[in-house]
């Protein structure tokens, strides 16, 4: 990806040197609980309060403080890459939504290490990258990039990072358009399997939006960049993760979609560039 020397977003908060976190439990339980609360209960004030209460109770078990440190040259470089990609998401989505009833609102992206305090409560990097609808921020521990390569088998590359960011920004777009709140409403009163299917559709649409972003980034892409994104999507499919961790898969428990589904919807977004082609919920009818 041709990213060096281009505009960097002013909406990136780098907490890797001076983190504001410190709220975490062993094993990343707080992060997991907060993530599930945000995903299934939604980004309302009530959810934020509940998340904070749960996080606070669990965090009493184990509190970690951070010492200031200096970023390495490689860490500084990847921070610039992230800021450039985030700037591009701002440009793409501002243009795509400018003539709609819901113009694009810039989110913020927080780079952190280990744990972080969010509008949705305390979170651990064990959750992976996530979007908090309460404060409209994307949270990213860049160690996840190494996890993708070394634990999940992705080929890596700068555009795999761009895919991760674009997917989370896709959740922000869903928040702006009201899709997320509609899904949370639909999840009420349905079975766990029904909730999971709606969650899968929401995640696949975020993959589609990541593909939309890639479509409008083509002038900056190098040979192999799309393969990097598809490799990342392959690595984080529910079936791939369950097979790796459990040795078997349970489709009824999927919350993000299979590897093939994630690649399909990213590719569709990339090929069409049309936001109206991303109705991942149609298959539920």
The predicted-structure confidence for 98-110, as pLDDT tens digits, reads as follows 988 999 999 999 9
The predicted-structure confidence for 240-260, as pLDDT tens digits, reads as follows 889 888 888 999 999 999 999
pLDDT for the residue numbered 18: 67
Q: Give backbone dihedrals phi and psi of 25, rounded to 5 degrees, phi first.
A: -120, 160
Q: Give backbone dihedrals phi and psi of 131, rounded to 5 degrees, phi first.
A: -115, 130
Averaged pLDDT for residues 194-202: 95
Nearest to 237 by CA among 222, 254, 223, 253: 254
- Cα 79 from Cα 138, distance rounded (Å): 14
Domain regions of the chain by residue span: 12-270
Instruction: Report the DSSP beta bridge partners of residue 132.
Output: 137
Instruction: Tell me the pairing of strands 12-14 and 108-111.
Output: parallel
pLDDT for the residue numbered 124: 83
Indicate whether 157 pLDDT > 90: no
| CB atoms inside a 10 Å sphere around CB 277 | 14
Averaged pLDDT for residues 2-25: 75
Averaged pLDDT for residues 188-200: 94
Tell me the DSSP string of 119-186: TTEEEEGGG-SEEETTTTEEEE-THHHHHHHHTT-----HHHHHHHHHHHHHHHHHHHHTHHHHHHHH
- Cα 66 from Cα 16, distance rounded (Å): 10
pLDDT for the residue numbered 250: 92
Indicate whether 262 pLDDT > 70: yes
Looking at mean pLDDT, say which of 30-39, 46-55, 112-121, 173-182 comes out highest.
Answer: 173-182
Averaged pLDDT for residues 157-174: 94
Q: What's the token pair of residue 106?
A: 């810039």
- Cα 35 from Cα 123, distance rounded (Å): 8
Residue 273 CB contacts under 8 Å (≥ 6 apart), including other chains: 212, 215, 216
Q: In which order are the strands placed within the sheet that holds 130-132?
A: 12-14, 108-111, 137-140, 130-132
| % of the chain with per-residue pLDDT over 70 | 79
Instruction: Tell me the pairing of strands 137-140 and 108-111.
Output: parallel
Q: What is the pTM of this model?
A: 0.83
For 10, how many CA atoms within 13 A lie in the half-sphere containing its CB? Answer: 0
Whole-angstrom CA distances from 165 to 75, 84, 149, 199, 250 are: 17, 11, 16, 19, 28
The predicted-structure confidence for 122-153, as pLDDT tens digits, reads as follows 988 888 899 999 999 999 998 877 776 666 65
Nearest to 28 by CA among 143, 119, 136: 143
Range of weakest confidence among 105-114, 153-162, 163-172, 273-282 = 153-162
pLDDT for the residue numbered 155: 65
| % of the chain with per-residue pLDDT over 90 | 55
- Cα 183 from Cα 191, distance rounded (Å): 14
What does the buried/exposed string (b/e) look like for 124-136 if buried means 16 or more CB atoms within 10 Å of the residue's CB? Answer: bbbbbbbbbbbeb
- Cα 268 from Cα 41, distance rounded (Å): 29
Averaged pLDDT for residues 34-56: 41
Looking at mean pLDDT, say which of 55-69, 136-150, 170-184, 225-239 comes out highest.
Answer: 170-184
Range of weakest confidence among 6-15, 55-64, 118-127, 146-155 = 55-64
Indicate whether 261 pLDDT > 90: yes
| Mean per-residue pLDDT of the chain | 82
Confidence class of residue 273 from pLDDT cuts 50, 70 and 90?
very high
Whole-angstrom CA distances from 47 to 4, 21, 130 are: 40, 20, 16
């Amino acid at each position: 990806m041709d990213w060096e020397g281009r505009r960097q977003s002013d909406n990136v908060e780098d907490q890797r040197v001076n983190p504001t976190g410190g709220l975490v439990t062993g094993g990343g339980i707080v992060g997991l609980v907060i993530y599930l609360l945000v995903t299934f209960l939604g980004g309302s004030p009530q959810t934020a309060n509940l998340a904070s209460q749960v996080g606070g109770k669990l965090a009493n078990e184990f509190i970690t403080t951070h010492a200031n440190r200096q970023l390495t040259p490689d860490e500084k470089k990847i921070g610039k890459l992230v800021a450039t990609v985030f700037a591009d998401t701002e440009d793409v989505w501002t243009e795509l939504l400018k003539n709609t009833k819901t113009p694009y609102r810039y989110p913020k992206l927080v780079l952190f290490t280990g744990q972080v305090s969010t509008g949705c409560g305390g979170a651990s990097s064990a959750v992976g990258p996530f979007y908090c609808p309460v404060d409209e921020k994307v949270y990213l521990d860049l160690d996840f990039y190494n996890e993708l390569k070394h634990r999940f088998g992705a080929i890596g590359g700068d555009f795999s990072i761009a895919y991760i960011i674009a997917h989370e920004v896709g959740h922000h777009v869903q928040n702006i358009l009201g899709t997320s709140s509609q899904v949370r409403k639909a999840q009420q009163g349905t079975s766990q399997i029904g909730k999971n299917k709606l969650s899968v559709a929401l995640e696949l649409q975020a993959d589609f939006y990541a593909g939309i972003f890639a479509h409008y980034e083509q002038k900056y892409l190098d040979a192999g960049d799309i393969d990097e994104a598809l490799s990342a999507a392959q690595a984080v499919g529910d079936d791939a993760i369950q097979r790796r961790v459990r040795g078997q898969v349970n489709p009824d428990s999927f919350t993000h979609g299979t590897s093939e589904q994630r690649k399909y919807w990213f590719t569709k977004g990339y090929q069409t560039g049309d936001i109206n082609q991303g109705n991942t919920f149609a298959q539920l009818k």
